Chains A and B, each alone.
Chain A
């Protein structure tokens, strides 16, 4: 993302940015909330009219306009990689009267100007991160016999690009030709899907993972296809493929792969990887029951009161993107207090699996520097009974 200008005053702040990819759109989605004003280029269907009276029967025209909207709601469609913002216009144009509804799809590489009444430190941080971060997109293929998933992993989201499922007949004593044939077709389809759905030239790496050694068979198939293309650029990309072992071909195998040490090294410095490792550390403490990991808002608040106890605060962007100003304020306060206390803050994207999991665990959690027993709330409704 490119930051064009930023100015703030008592009334609020105006920031102009140019989103460059889907990640930036997600960043915008997290910044823009209800009541903000945005100015951006957008297409609108306009019925030709004379002095405000529409010409009957005339065909609507699609015009590119510079609109200013007061935001009512926004949606992010990860599969389409689109951010849509719905609102009413606040600046009348010749073709668009004041207060007419419009849903704008934010265009990549076009400037977006955002006016917010309350511009807080968190917004600053997101914008800074988005503008400075080194982008690293990673492709991943997770498969087992009969099912394969092709995904794209960016800093803030995991996008499933393709899924193939095929019933493969089992091998039989004396004849396994049906099995071999079906497996071959399955691998071929997966290889083609991977080449079609992943922009191999621009990816940092492509992780291929499966139980056993199936991933190597797939990589061979992909290389065969690459060789067929006799595209030198593509052939050079062969070194980007990393083979890994996962216990399953379902999507959850992906997170497992991101945790393995060898992959960790190769994908280091990607935000996803850090978050997955952090969440793993959190669950490890939880499992050891060493009173160093807690989830839930009450527990986090208690930990905060101790002072200096919090090592890392884990929080999902769902909580921070809150249309309710007070609630958002509340969570940002927590984040800031942790920072003042020299604790780390890690914001999980809810478009990644780790973020989704954290979301299910109330969305907020802490890892502590030292064990603090009795932090947990007492259960009100527990029942004790003797075993027989």
Chain B
């Protein structure tokens, strides 16, 4: 209604202005009086019109008086005189409005001169309603003018409405305001509290069937996170399926496909806490077809635990194959996944590695075997992959029997070092040294989280018919906080979709050691801090379908700089691995960034750096610009074009690390340097 009132108001002002213009010097006073009469009538008119739809109304405004006015136009002066009402008449105006108007024609069609004379005579006898009408008509402009006014007015009104609509839509979608946290908390206190129980995220990698899932299953069972009753049930199920030895692995492998094939397909993360530490352990698939999932896991981890099958000779074969000729990646397919996985891990920023020589029970805990494997690995990892020796640890174990996993093994007298779990504790302390100081330093950093999992709706009932048919504005996202802090009640933005929402709750799923009954209990958090794996319920998302796994989430702050840039043209510096086919301009490949993969292609090469060995043995680096392909072991700066937009935060290096794979082989790794925004 406010718009309509506005319209009425404008119209009235316009009319008043018109009246004022029409006033002539001699008639000033009288006209003023007439206005007094006209005012209430006008109000009546406008009130009536308010009930009519806008479009029709504008036309009707002009219509009623048109016929009369048309006829009166020529007889300007006399009729104005004629219409002068006396004060007494004014008071009766409204009453007499009902009287017949049949005298009117005679007045109108009468001779001008005669009329002017008889004016005074008639004055008292003329039905006042006619007088009022005539007078009223002369207050108005000529019909043509009226039309003009209405036209210009309606134009103006249209503009007004449009602007308002625009403003409204802008305020709801593009202008995003930061919202305040629900509860006021002492950030420093929370950080101190949280850093007193530091979190370590470890990914378990290794060749297929080396025993990754089984080892983790054993660890969780020994820690009392999985109770004997559920393990008993799994054992029974596994035996029924003819896979008795898989019972521990089934703790981690849950989808029917994984169980029936006996292969882990996707990563799964479990969090648990001891009295003074928190751990997140990520199980990953070892099969080469599922390297993408493993890469996803590595981006969420601080350290890697590599499981190596001590009964297999793959490691020796793989390392000797590298020795013979540089054709590493080709042979690596046949020789196991271990080295490729470690290479990816190193390039994604993992330095600290624990190597578990598994299945030692099968070798009767043969120390020589252990040492020879250890030496091969040490050699390869330091020389070929560039790991630091002090960051590598070796451990003989049996995941299936639980030797050196949580409990010390009595079967292995020659090994006195820490068990798997003790190593994890050591790594936790190493990784989180000074964590409190770094954490509080980061308090000014922008909040960034990468979405690793996404459930539409409030969580539990996703996928069911009820929740999909009813469009909700709520999503539940999982992810690891890359930097900054976030509290419930604050608003976040999703990239690259540019959707926004408000954080409803933040929680973590963590199981206390020796507390198997309280499995998967959610802890509601007051704040999310860097490094934490959180589950967040986010409300007020306009288009939930626009969100996807791999989106970046940032907090909406007042200082709204372009912290995140979205582009599909990325300038990257790459180091090429051993290739069996060159990467040509236009060659399609898969780009892995964070936990997402993008279909991409090479669109330009800025320069390629070749190593040229001089005669005296020194190495010269030669940069070439006019190249259209990349070959093995080169370094290059290139432009990569992705199919979809990639959200980039230039300040967080870890999020800009990329790995490039083509046809199932890892062909390059590198860093996104900048984006090209077209």
Seen from chain A, the residues whose Cβ lies within 8 Å of a Cβ on chain B are: 144-146, 167, 169-176, 178-183, 185, 211-213, 217, 245-248, 250-252, 255-256, 280, 283-284, 286-287, 289, 295-296, 353, 356-357, 359-362, 379-387
Tell whether, in the assembled complex, residue A381 and residue B663 are in contact, meaning their CB atoms are under 8 Å apart: no
Tell whether, in the assembled complex, residue A176 and residue B254 are in contact, meaning their CB atoms are under 8 Å apart: yes
Given A171-B268, A357-B587, also A287-B664 (CB < 8 A): no
CA distance A256 to B661 in the complex (A): 13
CA distance A64 to B130 in the complex (A): 70
Contact pattern, B 653-667, Cβ under 8 Å of A = 1, otherwise 0: 000000001111100
Tell whether, in the assembled complex, residue A384 and residue B622 are in contact, meaning their CB atoms are under 8 Å apart: yes
Tell whether, in the assembled complex, residue B629 and residue A286 are in contact, meaning their CB atoms are under 8 Å apart: yes
Tell whether, in the assembled complex, residue B628 and residue A295 are in contact, meaning their CB atoms are under 8 Å apart: yes
Tell whether, in the assembled complex, residue A173 and residue B266 are in contact, meaning their CB atoms are under 8 Å apart: no
Given A381-B626, A385-B623, also A170-B268 (CB < 8 A): yes
Given A180-B256, A382-B625, also A169-B268 (CB < 8 A): no
Q: Which residue of A lies closest to B266 (CB)?
A: A171
Partner of A379, one of B454, B519, B626: B626
Partner of A171, one of B254, B629, B665: B254
- Which one of B34-42, B285-293, B313-321 contacts A? B285-293
- Does B71 belong to the interface (CB within 8 Å)? no
List residues of chain B with CB within 8 A of the CB of A356.
Answer: 586
- Does B455 belong to the interface (CB within 8 Å)? yes
Tell whether, in the assembled complex, residue B619 and residue A287 are in contact, meaning their CB atoms are under 8 Å apart: no
Tell whether, in the assembled complex, residue A211 and residue B586 are in contact, meaning their CB atoms are under 8 Å apart: no
- Does B14 belong to the interface (CB within 8 Å)? no
Tell whether, in the assembled complex, residue A361 and residue B265 are in contact, meaning their CB atoms are under 8 Å apart: no
Given A178-B463, A361-B586, A387-B620, also A170-B626 (CB < 8 A): no
List residues of chain B with CB within 8 A of the CB of A144.
Answer: 292
Tell whether, in the assembled complex, residue A169 and residue B620 are in contact, meaning their CB atoms are under 8 Å apart: no
CA distance A139 to B312 in the complex (A): 41
User: In the complex, how many angstroms separate the beta carbon of B655 from the nearest chain A beta carbon?
Assistant: 19
Tell whether, in the assembled complex, residue B623 and residue A387 are in contact, meaning their CB atoms are under 8 Å apart: no
Tell whether, in the assembled complex, residue A280 and residue B581 are in contact, meaning their CB atoms are under 8 Å apart: yes
Interface residue ranges of B572-603 to A (CB < 8 Å): 579-582, 584-590, 597, 599
Partner of B255, one of A180, A353, A357: A180
Partner of B289, one of A182, A212, A357: A212
Q: Which residue of A lies closest to B581 (CB)?
A: A283
Q: Which residue of B lies closest to A185 (CB)?
A: B463
Partner of A211, one of B255, B290, B454, B548: B290
List residues of chain B with CB within 8 A of the CB of A171.
Answer: 254-255, 266, 268
Q: Which residue of A lies closest to B584 (CB)?
A: A361
CA distance A183 to B547 in the complex (A): 18
Tell whether, in the assembled complex, residue A170 and residue B453 are in contact, meaning their CB atoms are under 8 Å apart: yes
Given A182-B463, A245-B289, A353-B588, also A173-B251 (CB < 8 A): yes
Q: A248-B292, A385-B622, A386-B618 are in contact. List 12 more A-B contacts (CB 8 A).
A: A167-B454, A171-B268, A173-B251, A173-B520, A179-B266, A247-B289, A250-B588, A284-B580, A286-B581, A357-B584, A362-B628, A381-B625
A-B pairs with beta carbons under 8 Å apart, 12 shown: A169-B462, A170-B452, A170-B478, A171-B268, A175-B520, A179-B255, A250-B590, A252-B589, A283-B584, A296-B628, A383-B622, A384-B623
- Does B624 belong to the interface (CB within 8 Å)? yes
CA distance A185 to B456 in the complex (A): 15
CA distance A4 to B627 in the complex (A): 48
Given A211-B292, A287-B579, also A387-B621 (CB < 8 A): yes
CA distance A246 to B289 in the complex (A): 8
Given A176-B255, A252-B599, also A287-B621 (CB < 8 A): no
Partner of A287, one of B263, B453, B462, B580: B580
Tell whether, in the assembled complex, residue B661 and residue A247 are in contact, meaning their CB atoms are under 8 Å apart: yes
Q: Which residue of A lies closest to B550 (CB)?
A: A167
CA distance A333 to B665 in the complex (A): 40
- Does B631 belong to the interface (CB within 8 Å)? yes
CA distance A174 to B518 in the complex (A): 12
List residues of chain A with CB within 8 A of the CB of B622.
Answer: 382-385
Q: Which residue of A lies closest to B599 (CB)?
A: A250
User: In the complex, how many angstroms separate the beta carbon of B554 from the nearest chain A beta carbon?
Assistant: 20
User: In the complex, how many angstroms separate the beta carbon of A199 from the nearest chain B beta carbon?
Assistant: 27
List residues of chain B with CB within 8 A of the CB of A387.
Answer: 619-621
Interface residue ranges of B518-572 to A (CB < 8 Å): 519-520, 547-549
Partner of A173, one of B268, B453, B628, B629: B268
- Does B448 belong to the interface (CB within 8 Å)? no
Tell whether, in the assembled complex, residue A213 and residue B626 are in contact, meaning their CB atoms are under 8 Å apart: no
Interface residue ranges of B249-306 to A (CB < 8 Å): 251-252, 254-257, 261, 263, 265-270, 287, 289-290, 292
User: In the complex, how many angstroms separate the beta carbon of B388 from the nearest chain A beta carbon?
Assistant: 21
List residues of chain A with CB within 8 A of the CB of B261.
Answer: 213
List residues of chain B with CB within 8 A of the CB of A173.
Answer: 251-252, 254, 268-270, 520
CA distance A142 to B595 in the complex (A): 21
Tell whether, in the assembled complex, residue A170 and residue B252 are in contact, meaning their CB atoms are under 8 Å apart: no
7 closest cross-chain pairs (CB), A and B: A360-B586, A247-B664, A252-B588, A250-B599, A211-B289, A181-B463, A176-B254
Tell whether, in the assembled complex, residue B623 and residue A383 are in contact, meaning their CB atoms are under 8 Å apart: yes
- Does B632 belong to the interface (CB within 8 Å)? yes
List residues of chain A with CB within 8 A of the CB of B632.
Answer: 287
Tell whether, in the assembled complex, residue A382 and residue B626 are in contact, meaning their CB atoms are under 8 Å apart: yes
Q: Which residue of B lies closest to A149 (CB)?
A: B599
User: In the complex, how many angstroms separate the beta carbon of B643 from the nearest chain A beta carbon?
Assistant: 8
List residues of chain B with CB within 8 A of the CB of A295.
Answer: 628
Q: Which residue of A lies closest to B291 (CB)?
A: A247
User: In the complex, how many angstroms separate the beta carbon of A287 from the nearest chain B beta carbon?
Assistant: 5
Partner of B266, one of A170, A174, A248, A353: A170
Given A176-B254, A289-B631, A383-B623, also A167-B549 (CB < 8 A): yes
List residues of chain A with CB within 8 A of the CB of B628.
Answer: 295-296, 360-362
List residues of chain B with CB within 8 A of the CB of A175.
Answer: 254, 520
List residues of chain A with CB within 8 A of the CB of B454.
Answer: 167, 169
Partner of A167, one of B548, B599, B623, B665: B548
List residues of chain A with CB within 8 A of the CB of B290.
Answer: 211-212
User: In the complex, how many angstroms separate the beta carbon of A6 from the nearest chain B beta carbon?
Assistant: 37
List residues of chain A with CB within 8 A of the CB of B599.
Answer: 248, 250-252
List residues of chain B with CB within 8 A of the CB of A379.
Answer: 624-626
User: In the complex, how many angstroms separate the beta carbon of B659 from the nearest chain A beta carbon?
Assistant: 13
